[in-house]
Every structure is written in structure tokens, then in C-alpha cells.
């Protein structure tokens, strides 16, 4: 068996297609009208209740029990890009975790949670370029030494 992709139920496939294309640089790899698959390995589906033969009111909005996760190399540039979308609903604004990764969480148009994090490889490279050793960097970012070595 092979896992294929995650699928999100959406109210309007065109609005979601535009959102993920513009904000997350996702390109459509397959467009079947009410079902669209993106290059990032996930899909959106309009009329999900009909497709799955479940009641319309059982499709829950804003369940906050899963998220899509994206990483960006230039976190500050992404935050500026977000500013161009005044209607974005934030789960929380940018913050830094203990492992030195800056993240922001937002909702998509159908209130699926999305986390956007600064690339951990970029963070490791930054600490290494500031003179931290591989071991110190691994400790700071709470990642294995092998990972930090791969970022050199």
C-alpha cells in the first residue's frame, strides 16, 4: 500500500485554488473541476459531503485538529507576502519556538489550519555561519548532529 495525499474539504474550489496558488506557490498538477491536486502533494475537494455520502452538517469547519505544514527559506519575505492579504485569519502571529524556528499559523478560506515555519536547514546554516559549532547548533535547534552536518 502507498499513501497518496491528504485531501481537504472546501466550499469553493476556485477560491481555495487561488489561495494556495498565490500564497503558497502551489501549482495544480491535476484539475478535475471539483477536485484539484497540488504539486505539494495535497488536494482540495468541493462537495465533499456529496462525494463521501455523508450529511452536509457532519463536515466540520475549524476543527483545529490537523494542519498543513510549509517551510520557507525567507521567513521575513513570507510575512511581508502575508501582509498583502488583509483578510487572513491568524491562529497566531509570528513567534519563535524553543528550537529557534519562527512560525506563523493561519487559516485557509475554509478554516483549515496552516503552519508556515522557517526552514530548519536555514536556521542551522545561520547558527553555523555565526560561529557556533555543529554540536552547539544541534543543541540550540534541537535537531540531530547528522542533520546539522548535512546543512554545512
Examine residue 89 and state whether it is found in any structural domain, yes or no. yes
Q: How many CB atoms lie within 10 A of CB 101?
A: 19
Residue at 68 is within a domain: yes
d(CA 106, CA 92): 7
Establish if 11 belongs to a structural domain: yes
- CA–CA dist 118, 84 (Å, integer): 19
Q: Look-up: residue for cell 510549509? A: 70
- The pLDDT value recorded for residue 56 is 86
**How far is the C-alpha of 126 from the C-alpha of 34, rounded, in Å?**
43
**137 occurs within a structural domain:** no
What is the pTM (predicted TM-score) of this model? Answer: 0.91
pLDDT in tens, 52-61: 899 888 888 8
85: domain CATH number is: 3.10.180.10
Residue 143 domain-assigned (yes or no) = no
Provide the pLDDT for residue 58. Answer: 86
* pLDDT value, residue 57: 86
State how many domains the chain has: 1
Domain that holds residue 111: 6-118
Q: How far apart are CA 139 and CA 68, in angstroms?
A: 27
Per-residue pLDDT, 40:
94
User: Is residue 92 included in any domain, yes or no?
Assistant: yes
Residues of the chain scoring pLDDT < 70: none
DSSP H helices, the chain, are 13-24, 48-52, 75-83, 120-129, 134-141, 145-150
Q: Do the domain assignments include residue 132?
A: no
Looking at residue 125, what is its pLDDT? 98
Does residue 130 lie within any of the structural domains? Answer: no
Amino acid at each position: 500500500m502507498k499513501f497518496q495525499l491528504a485531501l481537504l474539504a472546501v466550499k469553493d474550489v476556485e477560491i481555495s485554488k487561488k489561495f494556495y496558488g498565490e500564497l503558497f506557490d502551489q501549482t495544480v498538477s491535476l484539475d478535475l473541476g471539483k477536485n484539484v491536486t497540488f504539486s505539494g502533494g495535497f488536494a482540495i475537494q468541493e462537495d465533499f459531503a456529496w462525494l463521501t455520502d455523508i450529511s452536509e452538517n457532519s463536515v466540520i469547519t475549524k476543527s483545529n485538529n490537523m494542519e498543513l505544514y510549509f517551510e520557507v527559506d525567507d521567513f521575513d519575505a513570507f510575512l511581508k507576502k502575508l501582509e498583502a492579504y488583509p483578510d487572513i485569519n491568524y491562529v497566531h502571529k509570528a513567534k519563535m519556538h524553543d528550537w529557534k524556528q519562527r512560525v506563523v499559523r493561519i487559516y485557509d478560506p475554509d478554516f483549515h489550519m496552516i503552519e508556515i515555519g522557517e526552514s530548519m536547514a536555514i536556521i542551522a546554516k545561520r547558527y553555523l555561519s555565526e560561529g557556533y559549532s555543529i554540536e552547539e547548533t544541534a543543541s540550540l535547534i534541537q535537531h540531530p548532529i547528522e542533520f546539522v552536518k548535512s546543512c554545512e
